[in-house]
A and B are shown apart, each in its own frame.
Chain A
Amino acid sequence: MGRQKLCLGIESTAHTFSVAIVSKDRILADEKEVYKPPLGEGIHPYEAAQHHFRIAKKVLQSALKKSGKKIKDIDVIAYSAGPGLGPCLRVGAVVARSISTYYGKPLTAVNHAIGHIELANFFSRAKDPVIVLVSGGHTLVSTYLLKRWRIFGETLDITLGQLFDQLGREMGYNSPAGKYIETLASQGTKYLDMPYTVKGNDVSYSGLLTFAKSLLKKDNKREDVCFSVQETAFAMLTEVTERLLAFSEKREIVLTGGVAANKRLQEMIKSLSLVHNSSFSVIPREYSGDCGAQIALVGLLQYESGDTVDVDKSFIKQSWRIDEVHVTWRN
């Protein structure tokens, strides 16, 4: 028996720069630094990239130290190649290419969203789940079929994360604002009637955002607005999740992505899983947001199935849907 293979993964799609080291069954280290925009503002891609360059070395060193490994022990370097903000993606890619070239390690390019999915599967041990991926970049429901994670339904405009960030910004919070919205919502008592938009298997949140902003300008309590937005937005998502569950006849639900940390959303999806006699699991809170572990884990899976990329052919893709990724590590 040889020793277990190790992958060093670099996450760098948006706010977060993170480096993780994983083996097939363990996360040895997962270190990160998160860029914080000024109060009441959203992410500025160039500033975020500057931030990532400044702290890259520190994060890399601390991940190695924490794992107790040296670069020479690592088998493969993985980086988040997309989707994400160009300037941020380039930082991760440059760091990964440098390590790969200097130490002669193979390189593999990971789709960030697939990272959210497979990391959640790693924890839940689900075999063939319905995936609910909710974050700043994605809001979709998916199942696996014939070498692809298929998108069954998704947002037609903004994501749940963006809905919360933009509503938060309106109230003077910085992104990601999900936790502020959740706290305010938990103090709300009055349900205000909101636009509810489900088109087949897709949801749309832009109308809800505009409406909620207008309610804030009138004399409504913030707590009630946040509460009603959360209830309505999650109701729409649970509806499409139920639709996929009924259509696919699968029996496992896995909730992942940054917004998966929301307790009310967990409670709603858990409750619907009981109605459909399905299991429910949610990614652990510390891994729900963007992290190196999601990249390292998929990187390892790709490496073990022979899916690597030459440095001179390595790429970043700001636009990269999950159903474009040919999955090499599943049947």
Chain B
Amino acid sequence: MEKLIKIGAEANIYLDDWNGIKVVRKTRRPKPYWREELDNKIRRIRTIKEAQFLTHVKRLGVLTPIVYFVDPFLGEIIMEYVDGMRVKDLLNTNLETGFIMLYEAGKDLAKMHKHNIIHGDPTTSNFIMRNGKLYFIDFGLSFYSTRLEDKAVDLHLLKQVMKSAHSEIFNKGFKVIIDGYQQIYGSAKPILDNIKEIERRGRYAAPD
């Protein structure tokens, strides 16, 4: 009953049956346009990392799909199917709930950062709401870091996504995220200052 439900940036997402459970099978596609050495290395590393972080962050109270099985050489993870709505779509249909989820996303990101975990790809299509609860997915770019700058880059990425994909509600949306973040992290001022610094470094950014 395997069914392709999404062709993602680097992986195909299938709905599948695994020992009688409805699961998601995430397969990192070989990239025919990459050198094989590079492709194999990156697919293997990211698959392992993703499985590790999916599990690790649960201990911090961040909801993620349960990992059932990992095959690093095939670049494949079999995990729980979180049957919900992407916050990316939620923000277009139910703004009020969308903001609540952004607040939760800010909190979850802070929980990870407090424990020096950088998500690496915090976009609104990687936040899923199921039964009113927020799930984080896609930890393929995650890593450990104590550096302030890495935490700031994580938030900067989310800010960029809000600005480019949800520009109409950007101001309020990003504020809500920061509010949630600060509830857990405490004052995020050094991180917010660092985001400004990153933006100043951006190409052709006019100096303040």
Contacts and interface: CB of A to CB of B under 8 A. Distances in A.
Contact of B165 (A138, A157, A247): A247
Nearest to A264: B33
A187 interface: no
B32 interface: yes
A62 to B, nearest CB: 31
B34 A235 contact: yes
Contacts of B33: 238, 267-269, 271-272
B9 A83 contact: no
27 contacts: A146-B167, A146-B168, A150-B164, A151-B164, A152-B164, A154-B203, A191-B37, A193-B37, A196-B42, A198-B141, A200-B141, A200-B153, A200-B160, A201-B161, A231-B34, A235-B31, A235-B38, A238-B31, A242-B9, A243-B9, A243-B10, A247-B88, A267-B33, A268-B34, A271-B32, A271-B33, A317-B206
A247 B35 contact: no
A232 B33 CA distance: 11
B167 A191 contact: no
A180 interface: no
Q: Which of B35, B88, B120, B204 has the most C-beta atoms of chain A within 10 angstroms of its own C-beta? A: B204
A140 B164 CA distance: 13
B205 A247 contact: no
Nearest to A202: B157
A245 B153 contact: no
Q: Dominant SS at the A interface?
A: mixed
A186 interface: no
Contacts of A232: 38
B125 interface: yes
Given A152-B164, A200-B154, 19 more contacts: A137-B203, A138-B203, A152-B160, A191-B38, A199-B120, A200-B122, A200-B123, A201-B160, A202-B157, A231-B38, A235-B38, A239-B9, A269-B33, A272-B31, A276-B7, A318-B204, A319-B204, A319-B206, A321-B203
Interface in B130-168: 141, 153-154, 157, 160-161, 163-165, 167-168
A320 interface: yes
B157 A199 contact: yes
Given A154-B202, A191-B37, A321-B204, A200 B165 contact: no
A272 to B, nearest CB: 6
B121 interface: yes
A148 interface: yes
B175 interface: no
Contacts of A239: 9-10
A200 B168 contact: no
A280 B75 CA distance: 27
Interface size class of A (residues with CB under 8 A): 35 or more
A97 to B, nearest CB: 22
A138 B202 CA distance: 11
Contacts of A242: 9-10
B7 A200 contact: no
Contacts of B7: 246, 275-276
Contacts of A276: 7
A103 B121 CA distance: 54
Interface string A143-186: 10110101111111101000000000000000000000000000
B196 interface: no
Nearest 9 CB-CB pairings of A with B: A200-B157, A150-B164, A271-B33, A243-B9, A246-B9, A268-B33, A242-B9, A83-B204, A319-B204
Instruction: Tell which of B120, B154, B206 has the most Cβ of chain A within 10 Å.
Output: B206
Contacts of A137: 203-204
Contacts of A145: 164-165, 167
B167 A150 contact: yes
Given A242-B9, A246-B7, A276-B7, A159 B163 contact: no
Interface string A309-331: 00000000111110100000000
Contacts of A272: 31, 33
Contacts of B206: 317, 319-320
